[in-house]
Amino acid sequence: MIKAITGTKDILPSEAAIWKMLEERVIKTFTNYNYKEIRTPVFEKTELFARGIGEDTDIVGKEMYSFTDTAGNSMTLKPEMTAAVVRAYIEHSLGKQQSLNKLFYISPMFRKETPQAGRQRQFHQFGAEAIGSSSPLLDAEMIQMVYEILTGLGLKHLSVKINSLGIPESREKYKTLLRNFLSGKKSRLSEDSRKRFDTNILRLFDSKVESDQEILKDAPLLIDHIDEESRQDFETLKNVLTLSGIPFQVDPKLVRGLDYYTKATFEVISGKVGSQNALCGGGRYDLLIEQLGGTPAPATGFAAGMERILLACENEKSLTPPDEKIDVYIVLVDRQLTREAVSTALFLRKKNLSVDFDYLGRSVKAQMREANKYNARFVIFIGGDEYKTNKIVLKDMSSGGQVLIDKDDMEQMFRAVKTEISL
């Protein structure tokens, strides 16, 4: 038997309803904040992500699904959307049409990580990118949107963490400070951290190794060394979050795993999903557009992992999947009347009702069982004694009541179903 690829998951019909609920809520919230949807291809030139996310990041270094096509071009399945959205923004000169572009997406992503609960190789993100303004109000807006979505799903065990990474100049100065602080201690760091010391020193703070954290305990913190403008913007962000009633913590060790960030960064953590606890992450990336060849434009955004959010909902029992119903199930009492069943179904489906009937030649009893399984609101019986007198029986499945309807008066049948008469 051929099985799904490790780290990928089927979303079966029994789960699809809850995905749809989540997607509808996401779209509604983004629409309320006037974000417009953008869809980009599932694969891009590898160079886009290498340059956009940063050569020294885990994503580019070891997690990308890259392949070379027959023409010798290196392609990559998108591991994230920000670089792809920026590519589309530059390519289609969106900045010329609109000085501020507020964009959102819902899309599958691909990262070759070790699968575990809340971590897959194909997963889904929803997210937003606002390109064209350096206002910290937009950083706050990102957090407002995701917080509204998550609390709207009934999630309670959330913590919002924010930090500021400042601009590259202040960050470089800080890195020198950190390097000096660690100079006599480097040999005591874990192997991974020693590597990061050379390639991406800020990421040392991400280390899960206790002895590393012990060494870093008294390290200088970036937040205390950021430039004045970043500091003021960070104050505004905090004020707006307070005004919005969103509880948050400043986490000076929140460095994020992608290289493009400047100034504000944030994550929302769930206390109910185990170790892969970041439901979303984001921040400002004021230099990325220029770095990818566009006219400089400040930008901010976030992305949230949908599998993790649904896992949190499941663990907090916060979402009840909607009852799936169909409007009408047609029970064929007399097989000779298949034509009538088909045309009744056609008529009602054209009227926008959901209708099904039996394709397996089952008994009336089995058809009724099927109607119950599908949660049919009404059953129409075609055939039997009533039919001989040109009547069709319409049964309301919740009350059990039934009425006779002229078999040639489909409009009457439609009206009866549509007004949900309790018979």
d(CA 266, CA 252): 11
Q: What are the distances in angstroms from CA 393 to CA 230, 326, 379, 382?
A: 72, 18, 8, 7
Please report whether residue 77 would count as binding ligand HAM according to CB under 6 A. Answer: no
Please report whether residue 206 would count as binding ligand HAM according to CB under 6 A. Answer: no
Comparison of 285 and 329: residue with beta carbon closer to ligand HAM:
285
3-state secondary structure (DSSP) of residue 4: coil
The angle formed by the CA atoms of residues 31, 32 and 36, to the nearest 5 degrees, is 25
Please report whether residue 54 would count as binding ligand HAM according to CB under 6 A. Answer: no
Q: Which of 95, 282, 294, 298 binds ligand HAM (CB under 6 A)?
A: 282
d(CA 418, CA 87): 48
Q: Which of 58, 212, 307, 370 binds ligand HAM (CB under 6 A)?
A: 307
3-state secondary structure (DSSP) of residue 94: helix
Please report whether residue 279 would count as binding ligand HAM according to CB under 6 A. Answer: yes
Please report whether residue 288 would count as binding ligand HAM according to CB under 6 A. Answer: no
Q: Binding to ligand HAM (CB under 6 A): which residues in 234-273?
A: 257-258
Comparison of 30 and 381: residue with beta carbon closer to ligand HAM:
30
Q: Which of 61, 66, 108, 113 binds ligand HAM (CB under 6 A)?
A: 113
Please report whether residue 46 would count as binding ligand HAM according to CB under 6 A. Answer: no
CB-based burial of residue 213 (10 Å sphere; 0-12 exposed, 13-18 middle, 19+ buried)?
middle
Please report whether residue 102 would count as binding ligand HAM according to CB under 6 A. Answer: no
Tokens 């002229």 label which residue? 406
Please report whether residue 308 would count as binding ligand HAM according to CB under 6 A. Answer: yes
Comparison of 141 and 396: residue with beta carbon closer to ligand HAM:
141
Per DSSP, the residues of 350-415 read: HTT--EEE-SS---HHHHHHHHHHTTEEEEEEESHHHHHTTEEEEEETTT--EEEEETT-HHHHHH
Please report whether residue 129 would count as binding ligand HAM according to CB under 6 A. Answer: yes
Q: What residues make contact with ligand HAM under the rule CB under 6 A?
A: 80-82, 111, 113, 118-120, 123, 125, 127, 129, 257-258, 278-283, 285, 301-305, 307-308
